[in-house]
Amino acid sequence: MNDIPAKRDELHQKEVYSPPSRRLSEQNAGGLHRRAFLAASAGATVLLGGPSSAQVQSPVASAPTGSGTMPSNVRVERVDGSILLIGIRQETDRVDLSSVIGLGRLMYMLDHDDALRVAVLYSQGSDFVGGVLDPDSWAPVLRTGKFPEMSEFINPVGTIPPRRQKPLVVAVQGKCQGAGHELFLAADVRVAASDTVFAQPEVTRGHFPAGGAPITFVREAGWANAMRYMLTGDEWSADEAYRMGLVQYVTPPGKQLDRAIAVARKISAAAPLGIRATIASAHRALSEGQEAAYAALFPELARLAQSDDHQEYFRALGEKRAPAFRGR
């Protein structure tokens, strides 16, 4: 649970690019396909924010071209050429509908840019996400139970296909509650500062956690652990989250992003085809059952055995160097 020593100046070795919001905001406003999210999933939103003060360069990839607008105050950077670093900010506890659309577009970008191998999601403020529904922006969705149409969007909490195919590492601090906790649960690897305060308090607000917590929280922590907090709305600490298996690393405050980037670098150095196959196999077991996942193991292994990356491993082994995987 101790923090990995990481040089702070490594965080400045980034290629900063302009957020896709600049291009998306010029397009017609759209919405979110109802299949892309749970109806009335108010708990699945996250507020993007914090304009970047770094020098703006070219986008890391073409912005999604579907209709819809991206929140303008989101910091998006490329680290080491292959890590998508997404900084969010929440000025208040309320979250807006447009925010989940923006984050979903970034998840789509992650999956469809071949140069990107992993994303790191973090907060620029003292809190991650408080997760209180903004009643004005969500009113039409809650009234009708439907979302407007939207293309080029991946559900950021993974409740509806298509699901994200590349890894997401999350780093949190302060409040990680409600919608924020559900977004946290959707990540593949989770890092929390020791000052993080978690909660899934929707039952104390007159509704329930519709962003996936009744499924993901129970799956990750076990029935009684999850129900103990979801049914009471009580808060819990980073150490308690670690005990329940929700957190893989607990760091001193201010070190959580360093650790998350260190983990992302290890993921980025691995073979991209193998990474995606591993995630897909795990999702198949959850959605189609273990027998379907077992049946697909050797066919997938045979496919990857024909890849250049598989041969690159043996070349590197013979040449006594680290392999340079290219995802093909």
The pLDDT tens digits of the residues spanning 136-195 come to 887 887 788 766 567 899 989 888 888 999 999 999 999 999 999 999 999 999 999 999
Q: Is 202 a catalytic residue?
A: yes
pLDDT digit string (tens) for 38-81?
333 333 333 333 333 333 333 444 444 444 455 666 789 999 99
**Contact 217/241 with Cβ under 8 angstroms?**
no
Which stretches of the chain are assigned E, i.e. beta strand? 14-16, 75-79, 83-88, 94-95, 118-123, 132-133, 168-172, 175-177, 189-193, 197-199, 235-237, 249-251
**Contact 153/32 with Cβ under 8 angstroms?**
yes
Q: Is 300 a catalytic residue?
A: no
Q: Which residues contact 39 (CB under 8 A, 6 or more apart)?
A: 141, 145, 146, 147
Long-range residue pairs from 203-209, CB within 8 A, at least 24 positions apart, any chain: 203/230, 203/231, 203/232, 203/233, 204/233, 205/132, 205/133, 207/42, 207/43, 207/133, 208/43, 209/43, 209/178, 209/182
Does the pTM surpass 0.85? The reply is no
pLDDT digit string (tens) for 222-259?
999 999 999 999 999 999 999 999 999 999 999 999 99
Query: Mean pLDDT over residues 274-297, rounded?
Result: 96
Can you name the residues that pair with 199 across neighbouring β-strands?
177, 235
Q: What pLDDT is recorded for position 160?
A: 82
**Contact 94/148 with Cβ under 8 angstroms?**
no
Catalytic annotation, pick one of 182, 235, 312, 319? 182
Long-range residue pairs from 213-221, CB within 8 A, at least 24 positions apart, any chain: 213/43, 213/181, 213/182, 213/185, 215/159, 216/157, 216/158, 216/182, 216/185, 216/186, 217/181, 217/185, 217/246, 219/286, 220/185, 220/244, 220/245, 220/246, 221/245, 221/246
Inform me whether the pLDDT recorded for 133 exceeds 80. Answer: no
For residue 258, give the H/E element and its range.
helix 256-269
- Nearest CA to 181 out of 111, 248, 235, 114 is that of 235
Angle between helix 97-112 and helix 135-144 axes, rounded to 10 deg: 80
Q: What pLDDT is recorded for position 134?
A: 76
Inform me whether the pLDDT recorded for 22 exceeds 50. Answer: no
Q: Which residues contact 65 (CB under 8 A, 6 or more apart)?
A: 27, 152
Inform me whether the pLDDT recorded for 104 exceeds 50. Answer: yes
DSSP at 80:
T
SS3 of residue 95 by DSSP: strand
Catalytic annotation, pick one of 77, 152, 202, 319? 202
